[in-house]
Amino acid sequence: MLKKDFIYLDNAATTFPKPEGVTKAVTDCLSNYAANPGRGRNPLVKRANEQLELTRLTLARFLGAKPEQLIFVPSATYAINIVMQGISLIYGDTLYMSPFEHNAVVRCADHLNKSHSVRVETLPLAKDGTFDEEETRRWFASAPPKLVVITHASNVTGDILPIQDIINLTHEYGGKVLIDAAQTVGIHTPLLDGCNYDFLAFSSHKGLYGMPGSGGLVIKDHTEVLQPLIYGGTGINSEDVLMPLALPERFESGTHSLPSIISMLAGVQWLEATGLDIVRTRVSKLTQQLLNGLSSLNISVVGHDSIHGNTGVVSFIISDVGPQEINALLDEYGFCIRSGLHCAPFAHQRLGTFPNGTVRISPAYFNTEDDINSLLNAVEGLCI
């Protein structure tokens, strides 16, 4: 156990610490049944299978989906690539994305543009996430969307985007929608049975308070034939060289990261036992405390103007002091934060903070008011 001589405020990257129940569940898995699900009939494999499918059932319910619609993947990035590369975009197809996308989307889109001559366009969203429906209709009429990829919330500002409006309009023009929900699954989960997206990618280690190394992909139409990203053993149809069409096996080649998957089950159980509203309210109060403190210091906050809400991320800049310099100074005081472009250079271009980026602070449930006050005192010292 690390001696706590630091204050961790980088929860948009990975939540820390993890709930006690998550740590215990992972330890129990590693100690008692860390076998290979679907490979064999021994008691360890049987329990591994049972816990894997219990996680699938629980997470699917949490997401407003059915178990057969949920695929376990190594990360949200992996899930995004399954859809973007597997939907078979070709020359003449148009891919749209928001101006706030993470490089998990941007770099994949660039690859598709260069390798398959796919047309890539950016949706007309303002800095505050305002959606220009009329302009988007003109674009969709001229170049119908094959796939629209949009983050549910910016990892730079935490601002939540109008995904429902974009889902509805995209479907009207015959396209499909992939939601990057890495920043929101947990206390701002977009439900399949409410939002009606086509695909949703999420990770284990952020809002679900699980460990790194896993995540999920929700596929609305389980008969959708996407090309696999990875080919290999699935535990079924071993006599056939072709990948199975059935889900989840088509996209779950190789050995599952069982401890990480189990951590998502424990994370959901902790969230529901604690109360989603209680967790959300705590994060909101800490975020508002931080915003009020920065305002009192006349420090410019980037974002926090979306009418759809915010996940609890605060990005700021200080005149004449670079974000990396601020990060280095705060690091000396024991604050774990993030500075720079946050793997989202296009977002910073839209926000006007490129190329230096911002300082990003992201509290979570286990932070305290004292943590925020300590940070504000340190930031105030930098402004003198």
202 plus 283 within the same structural domain: no
Structural domain of residue 102, as residue ranges? 20-272
Whole-angstrom distance, CA of residue 209 vs CA of residue 284? 17
pLDDT digits (tens, 9 = 90+) for 322-372: 999 999 999 999 999 999 999 999 999 999 999 999 999 999 999 999 999
pLDDT at 265: 98
196 plus 238 within the same structural domain: yes
Q: Which residues of the chain have pLDDT under 70?
A: 1-4
Is there a domain that residue 135 lies in?
Answer: yes
238 plus 111 within the same structural domain: yes
Final residue before a domain boundary, out of 229, 250, 272: 272
202 plus 292 within the same structural domain: no
Structural domain tally of the chain? Answer: 2
109 plus 198 within the same structural domain: yes
Is there a domain that residue 297 lies in?
Answer: yes
361 plus 247 within the same structural domain: no
264 plus 335 within the same structural domain: no
Is there a domain that residue 246 lies in?
Answer: yes
pTM: 0.96
pLDDT at 39: 76
pLDDT at 74: 96
pLDDT at 3: 43
316 plus 260 within the same structural domain: no
282 plus 258 within the same structural domain: no
253 plus 278 within the same structural domain: no
Looking up residue 181, the CATH number of its domain turns out to be: 3.40.640.10
